[in-house]
Amino acid sequence: MLVTDSLLIQIHSIFSGFVTIRTNEQGDFLQRNRKKLKILIETITEQLVASYFKKGFVNVPTALLLINTRIQELTDRDDVSLFESLQSVLRHYEILADKSYIDHKPKLEPLFRKEIKILCMNIALHKEFVKNAHAANLRRLLNDC
């Protein structure tokens, strides 16, 4: 199992909330949900690292180092796409984890619209989820985003 069904449902819920809110309020929606996004990305990372590399997760920086050194071992195209997109998100992890009391929207919104969306799409498109109804729902939603 790549990630849990329940995690797919939570990812769907965030994107669903994003697309149903008015465009000029989407940045505020992401700012309000930044902690949830951080937890989702950490959870995806924890599950993928355990699933592929049989390693215990410690934190995002060490997971990124591990992925950087082990991604060459992956041969399946879906796996490579998945981990390349995870790398791209984790390189911007600071935007999710930053404790500064500043407006994060200018960096957060592009990250969500591009890197996070691509990662979630690659999860939903993975061959392991070809018959998974939650992944199918997520694929449909992300295609419409």
Q: Which residues bind another protein (CB under 8 A)?
A: 1, 3-7, 9-10, 35-36, 38-39, 42-43, 46-47, 50, 56-59, 62, 99-103
Per the CB < 8 A criterion, the answer to whether 137 and 145 are in contact is no
State how far the Cα of 8 lies from the Cα of 20, in Å rounded to an integer: 18
DSSP 76: S
Nearer to another protein, 16 or 47 (CB): 47
Q: How far is the CB of 65 from another protein (least distance, A)?
A: 12
Question: What six digits make up the tokens of 133?
Answer: 């109804």
Of 6 and 68, nearer to another protein (C-beta) is 6
Residue 57's φ and ψ, nearest 5 degrees, are -80, 135
Beta carbon nearer to another protein, 43 or 87: 43
Shortest CB 10 distance to another protein, Å: 6
Q: How far is the CB of 62 from another protein (least distance, A)?
A: 8
Which helix (H) or strand (E) element contains residue 87? Answer: helix 77-90
